[in-house]
Amino acid sequence: MMRESVQAEVQMNFLVSEELSFRIPVELRYETDDPYAVRMTFHLPGDTPVTWAFSRDLLVGGVAGPTGDGDVHIGPTGPGRRADLGIRLQVGQERAFFLVGSAPVVAFLDRTDRLVPLGDEQKYGDCEGDLDSALSDILAEAEENAG
């Protein structure tokens, strides 16, 4: 199967503190060979771009209401369809908070859904083949070690 992708660049506000924020370009990327994941590449000024990958379902859910656990939390910042999305990323005690208009994110998700409909991810990518072969390898190794 040919690898296909959807990309979009959006402007996000990076909230450094209550007093300081700045706009940065963020690339959204979705590929059929990793159909469960969305990647966001943050282009911070004077820094190497940073890419985060997380579940497409998490981003879809975050448009409708607060969602996420662990390192990524996404949710609308106010009521209604026009609310911005807040995205909080965390590594250890370090946190970064971003705001983005929901419209470009919804448009991006709509394009991903046309490429791989939500719920049909298992039909794309190499997920099953990789899992099957990895499981076979593990079982073969366990048999060798047991014998």
Task: Tell me the pLDDT band of 93, cut-offs 50, 70 and 90.
Answer: confident
Sign of the dihedral defined by the CA atoms of residues 23, 59, 79, 82, in that order: positive
In the predicted structure, residue 131 carries a pLDDT above the cut 90: no
* pLDDT tens-digit series, residues 11-30: 999 998 889 999 999 999 99
Walk across the sheet containing 5-15 and list its strands. 50-55, 37-42, 21-31, 5-15, 94-101, 84-91, 72-76
In the predicted structure, residue 87 carries a pLDDT above the cut 90: yes
> For the whole model, what pTM was predicted?
0.81
Would you state the pLDDT for residue 135?
66
Mean pLDDT across the chain: 88
Q: Which residues lie closer than 8 Å to 13 by C-beta, 6 or more apart?
A: 21, 22, 23, 24, 98, 99, 100
Burial letters for 61-93: b for 16+ Cβ neighbours within 10 Å, e otherwise? ebbeeebbeeebbbbbeeeeeeebbbbebeeee
Rounded to whole angstroms, the Cα distance separating 69 from 132 reads 28
Would you state the pLDDT for residue 38?
97
**Domain residue spans in the chain?**
5-146
Could you please state the CATH topology (level 3) that the domain comprising 5-146 is classified under. Transcriptional Co-activator pc4; Chain A (2.30.31)
Mean pLDDT confidence for 125-132: 56
Mean pLDDT confidence for 86-91: 93
Is 36 or 93 the better-scoring residue by pLDDT?
Answer: 36
Q: Which residues lie closer than 8 Å to 23 by C-beta, 6 or more apart?
A: 11, 12, 13, 14
